[in-house]
Amino acid sequence: MADVSTATRGDLRLTRITKTYADFSAVNDLSLTIPEGSFFALLGPSGCGKTTTLRMIAGLEEPTVGSIHLGTTDITTKRPYQRPINTVFQNYALFPHLTIFENIAFGLRRRGIKDVDADVNKVLELVELPHLAQRKPTSLSGGQQQRIALARAIVNRPALLLLDEPLGALDLKLRRQMQIELKWIQREVGLTFVHVTHDQEEAMTMADTIAVMNEGEIEQMGTPADLYDNPKTAFVANFLGQSNLIKGRIEGNDGDNLVVDLFGQKISMPKNRSHAVDSSIYAGIRPEKFRISLLGTPTRGNILTGGRIEEVSYIGVSTQYQVIMPWGQELMVFEQNDDGVPPFDKGDEVMISWEPNFTFALRGDEDAEAGTEVAPDDLDEDE
Amino acid sequence: MSSTLSKIKLPYLLLLPGFLFLFTFFILPIVNLAQTSTQTPIAGGDTGQYEQSLRFANYLNAFTENKEQFGRSFLYAISATILALAIAYPLAYAIAFKAGKYKNLLLVLVIAPFFTSFLLRTVAWKQILGEEGFVVPPLRTLGIIGDSTTLTSTSFAVIMGLTYNFLPFMTLPLYASLERIDPRTMEASGDLYANGLTTFRKVTLPLSMPGVVAGTLLTFIPAAGDYVNAAILGNPNTKMIGNVIESRYFKIVDYPTAAALSFTLMAAILILVTLYIRKAGTEELV
């Protein structure tokens, strides 16, 4: 029916995409390559341009400037129905007047495929809901609707599957379960998945590669571990998990390491983990990388002395401490409760230590709070 | 205990005003009308004097004498309904999906005609379709109608009047059901390889069927019983059944025939509507 070349396969390339609306610009000069077969996440807070980017890939919006290629085919101005791309919509957008079977068969029928039974039944098996084929969408639970929306898209075996906050409407437990299932299904069907989310944990659980977006631009792109262990900007450091960012100054070199002064105390860190441009930096350390010890206890690695425990929260698997440092900054420390050592008490005078290799350095002129004010789970998912 | 009792009673209490009102002003008159419909003239009495009997032949006579007007009523009503649907659907679609910030303004404009009297609006059509109006001269110039053709006092004028007068009743339910459609389902349809036309046929139209059914009923039912448009815009050969009932009642004072015609009209509408709803198949409506 529609002119869809399902033979079009290959990497998705966005080249210098800009999308401007009357009063603001949603996406700014964005270039991106998504390798065929990968599970790619676009992660960012509400309004960062991730959904607009997804809609341009789907063909629901047209870029103001720039081009989109799938393999060698330019699809920038192709209509949605002319692209071998399918979408799992936020809130699913199932057709309420059609049965589950007909919902899933919709795309196949539009492409003129007569015998749809085998394909539809196969994906119903895949999402483990074959018994619901004759029901209407409104009689299904949120989790079931989510799976049907996925089945309706993957039955077409698109070159690219787009997922727009696919788990946003599910409760926490179901969301965790679906994250694992989605990942499994992606491996099973071997399609390229592009996943848009504001939930950093969701992105990290599922994606091979994450692009963190902020204000219409990509802040950093890499594997979940890359982004978490070695963030390049304060926004990434704070948006993906939590970070302690301590103002400091590079004092000199020591082989492959930098010597850094943090409020009069010297620490060391690998050169290749510094993204600073001059000697003014923020030294970043993840809360779980810190160790706490009482004054006078032998310890190794980088050490900061003069801390006092301000707050203790026991949360079972770990204990979270807020330690106030001599320069007035509160540092966050997560200690695993795995060594039988009783937790420290409020008011204890402590040292903080960590392995130098876990340190990263950001530019000293950054806003150390960037990305923290966003509480991803509380946000409305609409952009 | 007493609170449970009042909880049970509450729905009935809420129903009471409506029930009393409808009983007094609908049920009683209907019963009265039913009685009237089988009355016979008093032998040797004055015009308009009838006595109660069970003369069901009134129905047969009333129907056979006015078959033509019945047929015309339904023909006009169906034509007006189809025309109104053709005009209102794009209108409602545009208001629901394309109007943006002008949505409310446009909705007010749709109901604005209700601010003036139904009669006045109908009379205005006489002017609009008149010799000096802005419709006839251009059509003459373009040669679409001949010099001797007039538009007033024609069945065309009656159908146009019906269409115009009931257009808001078509537009509003259509708008209501279109507006409820999640635009993402239309995007999803495009995403699943349906072009604009297919999306309309397979998604938008089926999802707006409740509005189509409600709108066509709200237009067809009053249009079938209407007599104002035919009286003002028609001629003696475009009489609808409403005009017959009106003249039987007020001019000929033949109450039984007028009552029998009223019941026949009700029954005919009921049958047609039932068949239509069966065909249109929107269970949620009935």
Measure in Å the smallest separation between the Cα of A1 and chain B Cα atoms: 8
Q: How confident is the model at residue B282 (pLDDT cuts 50, 70, 90)?
A: low
Domain assignments of chain A as residue spans, ordered by start: 12-229, 242-363
Question: What's the average model confidence in pLDDT over B235-261?
Answer: 91
Which DSSP state fits A342?
P
d(CA B156, CA B153): 8
pLDDT of residue A356: 94
- Tell me the ipTM for this assembly: 0.81
Q: How confident is the model at residue A383 (pLDDT cuts 50, 70, 90)?
A: very low
From residue A216, alpha-carbon distances to A19, A52, A93, A171, A378 in Å are: 9, 9, 26, 29, 21
pLDDT of residue A366: 86
User: Cβ distance A218 to A32 under 8 Å?
Assistant: yes
pLDDT at A7 over 80: no
Do residue B194 and residue A81 have CB atoms under 8 angstroms apart?
A: yes
Measure in Å the smallest separation between the Cα of A98 and chain B Cα atoms: 9
- Chain B CB contacts of A166 below 8 Å: none
pLDDT digits (tens, 9 = 90+) for B55-91: 888 999 999 999 999 999 999 999 999 999 999 999 9
Measure in Å the smallest separation between the Cα of B95 and chain A Cα atoms: 21
**Which residue, among A56, A92, A110, would best test binding to B if mutated, counting the most B CBs under 10 Å from its CB?**
A110
- Check if B201 contacts A (Cβ < 8 Å): no
Of B185, B187, B207, the CB nearest to A60: B187
- Chain A CB contacts of B207 below 8 Å: 95-97
Question: What's the average model confidence in pLDDT over A170-193?
Answer: 86
Q: How confident is the model at residue A42 (pLDDT cuts 50, 70, 90)?
A: very high
Question: What's the average model confidence in pLDDT over A270-296?
Answer: 92
pLDDT digits (tens, 9 = 90+) for B111-163: 998 899 999 999 999 999 988 888 888 888 888 888 888 888 899 999 999 99
Domain B68-285 annotated CATH 1.10.3720.10: yes
pLDDT of residue A380: 45
Q: How confident is the model at residue A376 (pLDDT cuts 50, 70, 90)?
A: very low
- Look at A371-375, B135-139, B153-157, B171-175 and tell me which has the smallest mean pLDDT: A371-375
Name the CATH topology of A12-229: Rossmann fold (3.40.50)
Of A80, A81, A96, the CB nearest to B207: A96
Segment holding B187, helix H or strand E? helix B183-191
pLDDT digits (tens, 9 = 90+) for B118-128: 999 999 999 99
pLDDT of residue A377: 47
36-95 of B, contacting A, C-beta below 8 A: none
d(CA B234, CA B228): 9
Of B184, B192, B207, the CB nearest to A106: B192
Question: What's the average model confidence in pLDDT over B161-177?
Answer: 96
- Check if B202 contacts A (Cβ < 8 Å): yes
pLDDT at A256 over 60: yes
pLDDT at A327 over 60: yes
Of B182, B195, B207, the CB nearest to A2: B195
d(CA B153, CA B136): 13
pLDDT of residue B2: 55
pLDDT of residue A354: 95
Look over chain A and give the mean of its residue pLDDT values, rounded to a whole number: 89
pLDDT of residue B42: 86
Task: Give the residue from chain A lying closest to B196, CA to CA.
Answer: A81
Which residues, in sequence order, are bridge partners of residue A210? A41, A222
Q: How confident is the model at residue A338 (pLDDT cuts 50, 70, 90)?
A: confident
Decide which of A377 and B238 is more confident.
Answer: B238
pLDDT at A8 over 80: no
pLDDT at B31 over 90: yes
From residue B207, alpha-carbon distances to A140, A270, B76, B174, B186 in Å are: 19, 62, 28, 11, 10
pLDDT at B45 over 70: yes
d(CA A190, CA A36): 9
pLDDT at A4 over 50: no
Helix axes A117-126, A172-189, angle to 10 degrees: 130
Question: What's the average model confidence in pLDDT over B105-111?
Answer: 94
Question: What's the average model confidence in pLDDT over B219-236?
Answer: 93
Do residue A81 and residue B185 have CB atoms under 8 angstroms apart?
A: no
Using a pLDDT cut of 90, give the percent of chain B over it. 69
Report the top-level CATH class of A242-363. mainly beta
- Look at A133-137, A370-374, B48-52, B103-107 and tell me which has the smallest mean pLDDT: A370-374
- What separation, in Å, do the N-terminal and C-terminal C-alpha atoms of chain B show? 37
Q: Which two tokens stand for residue B198?
A: 């297919």
- Chain B CB contacts of A150 below 8 Å: none
Q: How confident is the model at residue A317 (pLDDT cuts 50, 70, 90)?
A: confident
What pTM value is reported for the model? 0.81
pLDDT at A52 over 60: yes
